[in-house]
């Protein structure tokens, strides 16, 4: 076996090696590695995995193996400052003015009263001069010469409380998108209670909404208590039946659906039952993906509700296995590194409320004590040209993480390239927003191995 020198390479700090050893389909002993700089999971022979786990490229590598590890950025230039390299990529994504992201709140009201919600809901729709100002702002962004692609989201409150406004504004935006040949995506974040099949069809075809994110917090008796409608009515079966109709209709094929479950102490014991029920109702469909998330603070006190991080991660590992057995679609691990962390760190992104205020962070607009964090109003001069929004609270996040002597644990975390720091707002509020895969990565490795036909063995 020919070998090559380590002089030009070092083993990246951004690697996770499975503790478990597996036998691949050829009967060879391997371990899995997660290269977080490229967000790739791949098997390597046992001896190489052990060397990489120690941070040694060693003489065990052939030129072909070394080339493969360089491509996956497990081997990187020996003189590279990896934190600066990773942060530089994230900053480059944040600085990209060619892709613009605008989240519009067509109303501040919500028809649900969830106990874990930190928003304050008021009956304020986007109307009159504010609607015209928002329309001008978005059209200005879409018409800018340097705009290559755009994502326009519908957020709230409950955006479908202002369904007519969504239709009106989308009708103004899409002709410009078509004329300029812009890349396009659009997400609606909705509680689903008003999401009839007819509305889904209109959103998909007329408004070009490409994805709907819908929350279901348990089987019917749990969901309808955990996410109560202010009218006293229920929503579980309405959501399920509307989605079933949409999934059966090829005319809505351009829209995918995310089923999000917010988990706290009140519903954690019923998640598995919900998954089984939704699988039986046909939600194994390829246009549906599941995500289970822990309840966290939106500026409100949820200490009596939220689950400890390791406790949630342990339970989630079981839920992932259940989803796998049921044929439900979910993401085991991120498959691409963070390009742009979130709207809060990029002046190319903004959220606009019904009164025209612009914010950089999605968790600010409907939280009373954060109203003062607005970066401006779309009636102001800065909005007219479609240029970047004014500077927000968290635009310096990447600089903060990479600064010499930074106290952020992200600077030494091997998952930093994949999550980008997760949530600057929560960090600065004293919360720990690290993603759950940091705490159950080994269980996820075992699941990935199973999905690829590997057999778990004792390391010898």
| HEC profile of the chain | CCCCCCCCEEECCCEEECCCEEECCCCCEEEEEEECCCCEEEEEEHHHHHHHHCCCCCCCCCHHHHHHHHHCCCEEECCCCHHHHHHHHHHHHHCCCCEEEEEECCECCCCECCCCCCCCCCCCECCHHHHHHHHHHHHHHHHCCCCCEEEEEECCCCHHHHHHHHHHHHHHHHHHHHHHCCEEECEEEECCCCCCHHHHHHHHHCCCCCEEEEECCCCHHHHHHHCCECCCCCCHHHHHHHHHHHHCCHHHCCCEEEEEEEECCCCHHHHHHHHHHHHHCCCCCCCEEEEEEECCCCCCCCCCCCCCHHHHHHHHHHHHHHHHHHCCCECCCCCCCCCCCCHHHCCCEEEECCCCEEECCCCCCCCHHHHHHCCEECCCHHHHCCCCCCCCCCCCHHHHHHCCCCCCHHHHCCCHHHHCCCCHHHHHCCCCCCCHHHCCHHHHHHHHHHHCCCEEECCC
Phi, psi for residue 211 in degrees, rounded to 5: -155, 140
Q: Position of tokens 């202002």?
A: 162
- The bridge status of strand 357-359 relative to strand 349-352 is antiparallel
- The bridge status of strand 349-352 relative to strand 40-45 is unpaired
CA atoms within a 13 Å half-sphere pointing along the CA-CB vector of 12: 30
In this structure, the number of other CB atoms found within 10 A of the CB of residue 448 comes to 20
Q: Position of tokens 């530089």?
A: 88
269, 262, 270: which is closest to 292 by C-alpha?
Answer: 262
Report CA-CA distances (Å) from 430 to 215, 303, 337, 425.
Answer: 27, 13, 25, 9
From first to last of its 460 residues, the chain has per-residue pLDDT tens of 333 345 689 999 999 999 999 999 999 999 999 999 999 999 999 999 999 999 987 667 889 999 999 999 999 999 999 999 999 999 999 999 999 999 999 999 999 998 888 787 888 777 777 899 999 999 999 999 999 999 999 998 999 999 999 999 999 999 999 999 999 999 999 999 999 999 999 999 999 999 999 999 999 999 999 999 999 999 999 999 999 999 999 999 999 999 999 999 999 999 999 999 999 999 999 999 999 999 987 776 777 888 999 999 999 999 999 999 999 999 999 999 999 999 999 999 999 999 999 999 999 988 888 889 999 999 999 999 999 999 999 999 999 999 998 889 999 999 999 999 999 999 998 888 999 999 999 999 999 999 999 999 975 4
CA atoms within a 13 Å half-sphere pointing along the CA-CB vector of 136: 16
Residue-range domain boundaries for the chain: 9-80+439-457, 83-90+393-437, 98-384
CATH superfamily of 98-384: Aldolase class I (3.20.20.70)
């Amino acid at each position: 076996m020919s070998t090559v020198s380590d002089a030009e390479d070092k083993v990246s700090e951004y690697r996770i090696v499975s503790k478990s050893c597996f036998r691949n389909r050829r009967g060879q002993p391997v371990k899995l590695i997660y290269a977080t700089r490229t967000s790739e999971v791949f098997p390597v022979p046992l001896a190489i995995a052990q060397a990489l786990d120690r941070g040694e490229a060693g003489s065990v590598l052939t030129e072909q193996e070394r080339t493969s590890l360089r491509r996956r950025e497990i081997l990187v230039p020996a003189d590279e400052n990896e934190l600066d390299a990773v942060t530089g990529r994230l900053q480059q994504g944040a600085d990209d003015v060619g892709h613009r992201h605008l989240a519009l709140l067509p109303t501040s009201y919500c028809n649900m009263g969830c106990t874990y919600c930190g928003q304050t809901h008021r009956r304020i729709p986007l109307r009159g001069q504010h609607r015209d100002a928002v329309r001008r702002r978005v059209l200005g962004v879409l018409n800018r010469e340097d705009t290559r692609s755009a994502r326009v989201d519908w957020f709230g409150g409950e955006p479908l409380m202002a369904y007519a406004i969504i239709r009106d504004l989308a009708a103004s935006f899409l002709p410009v998108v078509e004329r300029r040949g812009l890349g396009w995506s659009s997400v609606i974040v909705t509680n689903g209670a008003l999401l009839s099949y007819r509305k889904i069809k209109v959103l998909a075809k007329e408004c070009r909404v490409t994805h709907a994110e819908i929350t279901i917090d348990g089987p019917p008796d749990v969901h309808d208590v955990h996410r109560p409608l202010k009218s006293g009515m229920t929503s579980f079966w309405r959501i399920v039946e509307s989605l079933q109709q949409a999934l059966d209709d090829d005319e809505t094929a351009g829209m995918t659906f995310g089923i999000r479950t917010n988990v706290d102490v009140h519903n954690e014991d019923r998640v598995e039952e919900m998954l089984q029920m939704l699988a039986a109702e046909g939600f194994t469909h390829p246009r549906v993906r599941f995500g289970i998330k822990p309840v966290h603070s939106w500026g409100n006190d949820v200490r009596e509700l939220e689950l400890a991080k390791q406790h949630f991660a342990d339970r989630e590992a079981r839920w992932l296995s259940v989803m796998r057995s049921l044929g439900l679609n979910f993401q085991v691990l991120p498959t691409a590194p963070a390009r742009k962390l979130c709207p809060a760190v990029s002046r190319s992104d903004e959220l606009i409320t019904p009164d025209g205020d612009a914010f950089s962070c999605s968790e600010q607009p409907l939280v009373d004590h954060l109203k003062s964090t607005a970066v401006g109003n779309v009636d102001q001069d800065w909005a007219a040209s479609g240029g970047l929004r004014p500077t927000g609270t968290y635009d310096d996040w990447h600089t903060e993480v990479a600064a010499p002597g930074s106290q952020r644990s992200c600077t030494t975390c091997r998952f930093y390239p994949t999550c980008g720091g997760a949530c600057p707002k929560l960090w600065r509020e004293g919360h720990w927003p690290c993603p759950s895969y940091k705490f159950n990565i080994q269980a996820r490795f075992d699941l990935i191995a199973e999905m690829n036909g590997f057999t778990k063995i004792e390391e010898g």
